[in-house]
C-alpha cells in the first residue's frame, strides 16, 4: 500500500527546504510566498535496518525498501478556504493524503520574510487549522442540506446515520474542533469516509528550529507549541537546513554528523517512524535471490489482505502463507535452520500479519 503525506504550512516556514532533503530533488526554495506553485511529489525510501541484514543474507538482485510519498504543497495563507492565495487548489491536494505534516517555523530570522510579519507558531497553527475547518464545514453544510430532508421523510437507515455523522461534524467544526477528536461510531465513520475531511486526518507538527538549537532543550517557541497542541498530535523538532545537508551524506558521514550535533536520529527518520505509529502501519517482507522487498500494511490486516498488497491475484486465489518471523530467522541464522527448529509456520487467510513477518504466499493462478 502506498503511504502519502502532504507537507503544509504558511509560506517561508521551511517546507520546500525540507522537501528537498526528503527527495533530494532541487525544487525552487525561494524567500517569497508561493515559490512552490504546483504540488511537488517525491518518493523516499523508509529506513529499516532489517533490510540491510536481509540483503547481506540473501544477496538478491534487487533490494526494494518500503516507500513514503511526500507532496509539497504551496504555502497556505489566511483566507485560502475562500480563495485567497492558491485557495481551494491547495485544499484539494491535501484531501488525497493519508496524513498531514505541518511545518511550523520556531525561530527568529530577520532575513527570512514571514507572511504574517513575525514568528508566532501558535498563530500560524491557528490560521491553518481554521482554513482546514472552514473547508470541511462547507462540505458538511452542503451535504447536510441535501441529505437531511430525505432522511427525515423516508427514515432511511443509511441516510439517518449520515445525518447523525454530519450533524456531529457541523457542531464540532463550528466550534473549531477538528473531526479527528470527535467520537464517531464505526457506521458513521464509514458513511463519511469518502468526503476525506481534512481535519479528520492525523497531523504531525514539524517545529523547524535553528541548527544551534538541535540537541538542546526546547526553545520557547517549541515549548509553547507543544503546550498548545497537547495530546492531540505529535510535535517533532527538526532543522530543515541540517536535514538538507544530511541528505547529501553517506550513511557513515551522516551518523558522524548526527553525533556531532548531539542527536540520535535525523528528524526525517523520526517523522517516518511517528507517521507509521500514528497510522498503525507495519512491515512484512518477501525474500529470495531475485528480490528482497519490504511491504507496508495496516495493523489488523490478515494474510489474504496482505497478499493483495502485492497483487490482487494473490488475494483472489489465496491458498496459504508460509511465514517465519524476522527475529527467528536472525536467531537461527538461515531459512533451513528455521525449518529445522519448527519455526516456519503455515498460516491461513485469517492469520493476522505481524510486523517483521517474512512471507511466501501460495495462490491459485
Q: Is the pLDDT of residue 35 over 60?
A: no
Alpha-carbon distance 258 to 71, whole Å?
Answer: 26
Three-state DSSP class for 262? coil
Q: Is the pLDDT of residue 247 over 70?
A: yes
Alpha-carbon distance 21 to 268, whole Å?
Answer: 9
Q: Is the pLDDT of residue 337 over 90?
A: yes
Q: In which band, very low, low, confident or very high, does the pLDDT at 314 lie, cut at 50, 70 and 90? A: very high
Mean pLDDT of 329-344: 96
Q: In which band, very low, low, confident or very high, does the pLDDT at 1 lie, cut at 50, 70 and 90? A: low
Q: In which band, very low, low, confident or very high, does the pLDDT at 90 lie, cut at 50, 70 and 90? A: low
The pLDDT assigned to 26 comes to 46
Q: Is the pLDDT of residue 2 over 90?
A: no
Q: What's the Cα-to-Cα distance from 266 to each of 111, 233, 255, 262, 340, rounded to whole Å?
A: 26, 20, 9, 11, 40
Please, what sign has the CA dihedral across residues 133, 134, 140, 141? positive
Q: Which tops the pLDDT comparison, 79 or 155?
A: 155
Ranking 115-124, 138-147, 183-192, 327-336 by mean pLDDT, the lowest is: 115-124
Q: Is the pLDDT of residue 111 over 60?
A: yes
The pLDDT assigned to 268 comes to 86
Mean pLDDT of 157-172: 94
pLDDT digits (tens, 9 = 90+) for 121-139: 999 999 888 888 988 999 9
Q: What's the Cα-to-Cα distance from 149 to each of 144, 159, 282, rounded to whole Å?
A: 9, 10, 43
Percent of the chain with pLDDT over 70: 88
Answer whether 2's CB lies under 8 Å from 69's CB.
yes
Mean pLDDT of 181-209: 94
Answer whether 232's CB lies under 8 Å from 181's CB.
yes
**pTM, full prediction:** 0.83
Q: Is the pLDDT of residue 88 over 70?
A: no
3-state helix, strand, coil split of the chain in percent (to 5) is: 45, 20, 35
The pLDDT assigned to 79 comes to 57
Q: Is the pLDDT of residue 52 over 80?
A: yes
Mean pLDDT of 325-343: 96
Alpha-carbon distance 125 to 104, whole Å?
Answer: 7
The pLDDT assigned to 223 comes to 96
The pLDDT assigned to 16 comes to 80
The pLDDT assigned to 10 comes to 85
Q: Is the pLDDT of residue 298 over 60?
A: yes
Mean pLDDT of 315-319: 95
Q: In which band, very low, low, confident or very high, does the pLDDT at 38 lie, cut at 50, 70 and 90? A: low
Percent of the chain with pLDDT over 90: 57
Q: Is the pLDDT of residue 89 over 80?
A: no
Q: Which tops the pLDDT comparison, 250 or 337?
A: 337
Can you say how many angstroms the Cα of residue 296 is from the centroid of all Cα atoms in its chain? Answer: 12
Mean pLDDT of 312-329: 96
Mean pLDDT of 53-60: 96
Alpha-carbon distance 326 to 323, whole Å?
Answer: 10
The pLDDT assigned to 31 comes to 43
Question: Please, what is the average pLDDT of the chain?
Answer: 87
The pLDDT assigned to 27 comes to 43
Amino acid at each position: 500500500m502506498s503511504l502519502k503525506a502532504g507537507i503544509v504550512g504558511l509560506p517561508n516556514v521551511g517546507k520546500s527546504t525540507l522537501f528537498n532533503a526528503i527527495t533530494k530533488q532541487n525544487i525552487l526554495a525561494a524567500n517569497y510566498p508561493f515559490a512552490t506553485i504546483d504540488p511537488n511529489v517525491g518518493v523516499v525510501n523508509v529506513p529499516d535496518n532489517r533490510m540491510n541484514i536481509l540483503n547481506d543474507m540473501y544477496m538478491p538482485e534487487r533490494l526494494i525498501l518500503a516507500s513514503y510519498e511526500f507532496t509539497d504543497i504551496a504555502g497556505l495563507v489566511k483566507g485560502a478556504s475562500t480563495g485567497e492565495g492558491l485557495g481551494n487548489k491547495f485544499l484539494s491536494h491535501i484531501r488525497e493524503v493519508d496524513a498531514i505534516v505541518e511545518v511550523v517555523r520556531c525561530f527568529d530570522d530577520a532575513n527570512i520574510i514571514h507572511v504574517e510579519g513575525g514568528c508566532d507558531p501558535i498563530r500560524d497553527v491557528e490560521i491553518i487549522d481554521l482554513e482546514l475547518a472552514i473547508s470541511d464545514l462547507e462540505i458538511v453544510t452542503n451535504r447536510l442540506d441535501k441529505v437531511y430532508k430525505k432522511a427525515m421523510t423516508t427514515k432511511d437507515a443509511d441516510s439517518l446515520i449520515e445525518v447523525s455523522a454530519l450533524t456531529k461534524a457541523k457542531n464540532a467544526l463550528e466550534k473549531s474542533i477538528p473531526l479527528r477528536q470527535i467520537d464517531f461510531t464505526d457506521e458513521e465513520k464509514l458513511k463519511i469516509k469518502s468526503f476525506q475531511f481534512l481535519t479528520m486526518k492525523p497531523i504531525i507538527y514539524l517545529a523547524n528550529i535553528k541548527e544551534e538549537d538541535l540537541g538542546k532543550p526546547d526553545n520557547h517557541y517549541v515549548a509553547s507549541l507543544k503546550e498548545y497542541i497537547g495530546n492531540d498530535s505529535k510535535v517533532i523538532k527538526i532543522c530543515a537546513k541540517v536535514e538538507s545537508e544530511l541528505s547529501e551524506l553517506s550513511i557513515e558521514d551522516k551518523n558522524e554528523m548526527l553525533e556531532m550535533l548531539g542527536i540520535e536520529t535525523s528528524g526525517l527518520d523520526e517523522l517516518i517512524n511517528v507517521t507509521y505509529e500514528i497510522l498503525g502501519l507495519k512491515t512484512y517482507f518477501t525474500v529470495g535471490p531475485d528480490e528482497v522487498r519490504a511491504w507496508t500494511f495496516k495493523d489488523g490486516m490478515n494474510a489474504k489482505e496482505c497478499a493483495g498488497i502485492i497483487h490482487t491475484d494473490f488475494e483472489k486465489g489465496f491458498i496459504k502463507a508460509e511465514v517465519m518471523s524476522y527475529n527467528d530467522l536472525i536467531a537461527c541464522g538461515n531459512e533451513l535452520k528455521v525449518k529445522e527448529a519448527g519455526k516456519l509456520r503455515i498460516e491461513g487467510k485469517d492469520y493476522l500479519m505481524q510486523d517483521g513477518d517474512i512471507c511466501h504466499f501460495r495462490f491459485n493462478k
